[in-house]
Structure 1
Amino acid sequence: MNWTGSIDYHLLEIFPFFSHQLFLATVAADDAPAILNGVLLSLIVIYLASKIGAEVAKYFEQPSVLGELVAGAIVGISALHLVVFPDSGFAGSSSVIIQFLQLITNLDPTTLDRVFAAQSEVISVLAELGVIILLFEIGLESDLRQLKQVGSQAIVVACAGVAVPFALGTGGLMLLFNVPAIPAIFAGAALTATSIGITSKVLAELGRLQSTEGQIIIGAAIIDDILGIIVLAVVASLAKTGSIDVMSVIYLIISATVFLVGSILIAGFFNQSFVTIVDRLKTRGNIVIPAIIFAFIMAFLANAIHLEAILGAFTAGLVLDETDARNELDELIKPIADLFVPIFFVTVGARADLGVLNPAIESNRAGLLIAIFLVLVAIVGKLITGWVVFGQPGINRMAIGVGMVPRGEVGLVFAGIGSASGIIDKPLESAIIIMVIITTLMAPPFLRLAFGKSDEPPTAATEATID
């Protein structure tokens, strides 16, 4: 029996993300060796791109995440076509890695497309695990007590960061570009997103994660993520039926509130239980394995009630941050994050099509003017958030605003859903993608510049996290 092929195939079946279980069930077991080869080659490319990009960024004194995003764009759909995905409109024959596999294994065209789709699915799942682990790590490095202290400011920042860009974007598209109401509302909703993954990584690298500004940004980004889910539910329902499903919106608001408040309330009880479990375990991994299990349980629960898995992972990190094992857990989680997180950042860059910026292509021109407008609204709408913070004299308001700017993978999700549902046309989709690319790439260096103007030094704790 081919145990390797059997195990590889069943590994593919245990990841129920992205609602593709039916597809995975159709993958033939005989394809498993080719799928594994495709995954391994993709990971080789991703890790090489990640490390080279991070080192180049470090050389130019920029955050490593910027190098990983740019490296992803180079190996992705914008240039080398080494890491590409079916949901970006690519077939197996467009992937250089799949072409190489075909060359050495003589795959037939039907098998080639199956292998490409399954390999892409595995990489997507690994990227999803990467951002879950990243947010768990960020939760561990955050301070729940300090996060509670800036909670009111974070709520104000998040609400402003959703309301201002949504209103300016929707109104501007309708008045200036005569975009119909529903596509304009959808594009306005895409402007509300904030990529907590990108911002939090930069804050950690700069040693500012536990600063007051950093905690406000992280708290606001988490709340912004919840509000973004609610906004997406509203516009999706509006696009489908022409009316808003009020009960769905109420359900999301209640479930998000109960999840966050309930997690914070059980923190004290759970911490004692966690320490007891750790003390009784005597084998290797006695701390990190229970912690990862808890993070995955929280991520699963959040995903199951139609929130974001990353919200559950972040909450798990916050809860465990209060335990006596916190410092040791911080160190143990870093190698795991080093293994999975680069996959997330490189694939975000790989999915960004920089070709939409080329005005020489006629189909891009209609979207470029709209894109310029969306980029301006995306930046201004988030920069304003720094100036709504209250009760914090001397705070770096520019840093807070810049920290809320990147849209990253969240914005691409909005663009993908809008395109797949037929809500937005190609020019408007291109404009949204351009906005996502520019805000994502500009945030890391500008966040560094913004904090460079602050007199507040990094804390010893956050300096330790980036050594």
Structure 2
Amino acid sequence: MHLDTFLLSLLLMLLLAKVLAQLCWRLGLPAVVGELSSGLILGPSLLGWVTPHPQLHNLAELGVVTLMFVIGCETSTKRLLNSGPRVLTVALSGVLVPALLIPPFVHWLLPTPPLEALFFGVALTATSIGIAMRVLRLNHQDKGVMGHTILGAAIIDDVLGVLLLGLMFSFSNGDMEPIGVLLQLVTIVLFLILAPIATRLLIYLLKPLTKQDMLPGFYASTVLLLICLFGWLAYLCGTPPLLGGFAAGLGISRHFTSPWSKWLVNPFPFTRKLEQASGPLNDVLAPLFFSYVGLSINLTQQSLTPTTMVIALVLTTLAVLTKLQCGLWLTGSRRQKLMVGSAMVPRGEVGLVFAEMGRQVNLLGDESFALLVLVITLTTIVGPVVLKWACTHPEPGEDTRGQSPPG
């Protein structure tokens, strides 16, 4: 992609994403729906003015890594750990129910070979962490109990989804290696534990530099360096780079706790400036990521016959219900249960990546791939709309303590 085309693509994506996000917000819809719609309008689905390209893809990925860094900065490690039982309940139900219930329907409706139908269901175990957390953050619900539950469950969902995909690929090749899958899981868990600690150690090493007269942009550059470093390390460990950004953000968080915290002075003034520097980066790059998700969807490739649309609506309904049930296992008000369930609904970029991987290794036929992309698109729009409604409509007399106050 030539520089002039690249710059024009960025101009169109950022401009339309901001305009539509503001319009959706004023209409009471999630801003992320407007950002996704900007990609659908500019991309091959409608106008065809902007074409998906690796350069745009990489910049968009940096956007979601930055978003997860900001979310990590605002996350309490202690509260996240205390949400353990709730997180595991939501995560396991969010993986097992779609993986078990969706494949029989796919096999019956299309029909497809059993292995292809099974992969269809596995791909729909995905949860878009970025989309869910952006809606929660814009509605000031990301720091409370429900926010931590959703965040932890979404992370586990995607880790389990990656492992299930690994098993599917091994099974399709006739080469089952459960030990390899187990080692991969251990590697990911160790990374999520050690990366925040490593980030904190780097903070203590960098803090003395702030006593000197630093050039402008020091804090923003430090944030970007941390995001790139731990995103790269996450990729090496076989986990999505966005988890690297989240882990680095945890190390910056004012809520960070460690065994040596009582002996070391809390570097809060330094980490606070890093948090503030990450805000403008996130405000620019995050909408670009969601616009690119819409750009990656090509609805013109879908065979939108009446039969296909009926099948797509049936499978989309099933995809929504198999995630909404996640909230039913928790105690709390009906609104809080709906918040958790709807936050797990959008498959977004994670689902698209899973679908593309299945097509590349011939686990998905052309018809199944096109249908899966359509279902992912619909869940990516429905989920945020329901989540926004749940965030903004507390029940009469509901106890909202432990949730973030409106800003």
Q: So what's the TM-score if we normalise by structure 2?
A: 0.89
Cross-structure match for 2:365: 425
What is the CA deviation profile of residues 140-161 of structure 1, one whole-angstrom value per residue up to 9, with x for unaligned ones? 1222222122123112211110
Contact 1:374–1:431 (8 Å) recurs in 2:
no
Q: Is the 8 A contact 1:209 1:462 kept in 2?
A: no
The answer on whether the counterparts of 1:204 and 1:462 sit within 8 Å (CA) in structure 2 is no
Counterpart among 169, 178, 194 of residue 246 in structure 1:
178
TM-score (norm 1): 0.78
Report the residue type matching 1:385 in the other structure: C
Looking at both structures, which has the greater relative contact order when contacts are Cα pairs under 8 Å and sequence separation is at least 6? 2
Deviation at 1:54, TM superposition (A): 1.1
Separation of aligned partners in 1, 2:316 and 2:96: 16
Equivalent position of 1:332 in the other structure = 277
How large is the RMSD of aligned CA atoms in angstroms? 2.4
In the alignment, structure 1 residue 45 sits paired with structure 2 residue 12: yes
Q: Does 1:384 align with 2:329?
A: no
Of residues 398-407 and 291-300 in structure 1, the stretch that sits farther from structure 2 once superposed is 291-300
The Cα of 1:169 is off from its aligned counterpart by 1.2
Q: Does residue 3 of structure 2 align to residue 58 of structure 1?
A: no
1: CA distance between counterparts of 2:200 and 2:333?
32
In structure 2, the partner of 1:303 is 235
Does residue 162 of the first structure (1) align with residue 129 of the second (2)? no
Matched, 1:318 2:285: no
The answer to whether the Cα contact below 8 Å between 1:136 and 1:314 also exists between their aligned partners in 2 is yes
Q: How does 1:202-241 map to 2 (within 5 A)?
A: 202-239=135-172, 241=173
Partners of 1:59 and 1:161 in 2: CA distance: 32
CA distance 1:225–1:274, shift in 2 (3 Å): farther
- Offset of residue 38 of structure 1: 1.0
State whether residues 356 and 434 of structure 1, in contact with CA within 8 Å, keep that contact through their aligned partners in structure 2: no
- Match for residue 47 of structure 2? 80
Q: Which residue of structure 2 lines up, in the alignment, with residue 69 of structure 1?
A: 36
Q: CA deviation at 1:355?
A: 3.6
What amino acid is the match of 2:350? V
The question of 1:410 aligning with 2:355 is answered no
**Partner AA of 2:127 in structure 1:** T
The 1:78–1:268 alpha-carbon spacing in structure 2 relative to 1, beyond 3 Å, is: closer
Report if the CA contact (8 A) 2:327-2:337 is conserved: yes
CA deviation string 1:72-113 (max 9, x = no partner): 11111110001223xxxxxxxxxxxxxxxxxxxxxxxxxxxx
Determine the structure 1 residue equivalent to 2:58.
125
What's the offset of the Cα at 1:423?
1.8
In 2, distance between residues paired with 1:126 and 1:171?
Answer: 38
The one of 219, 224, 238 equivalent to 1:287 is 219
Instruction: Give the C-alpha shift of residue 398 in structure 1.
Output: 1.0
Is the 2:141–2:403 contact (alpha carbons within 8 Å) kept by the matching residues of 1?
Answer: no
Shift of 1:139: 1.0
Which one of 374, 386, 389 corresponds to residue 434 of structure 1? 374
Is the 2:346–2:376 contact (alpha carbons within 8 Å) kept by the matching residues of 1?
A: yes
Q: CA deviation at 1:384?
A: 1.0
Higher Cα Rg, which structure: 1
Partner residue of 2:304?
359
Name the aligned partner's letter for residue 344 of structure 1.
Answer: F
Instruction: Give the whole-Å Cα distance in 2 for the aligned partners of 1:213 and 1:449.
Output: 15
1:393, 1:135 → 2: CA distance? 28
Look up the SS of the partner of 1:62 in the other structure.
coil
Q: 2:12 aligns to what SS in structure 1?
A: helix
Q: 1:278 to 1:404 in 2, by over 3 A?
A: farther
**Equivalent position SS for 1:396:** helix
Instruction: State how far apart, in whole Å, the 1-side matches of 2:279 and 2:196 are.
Output: 24
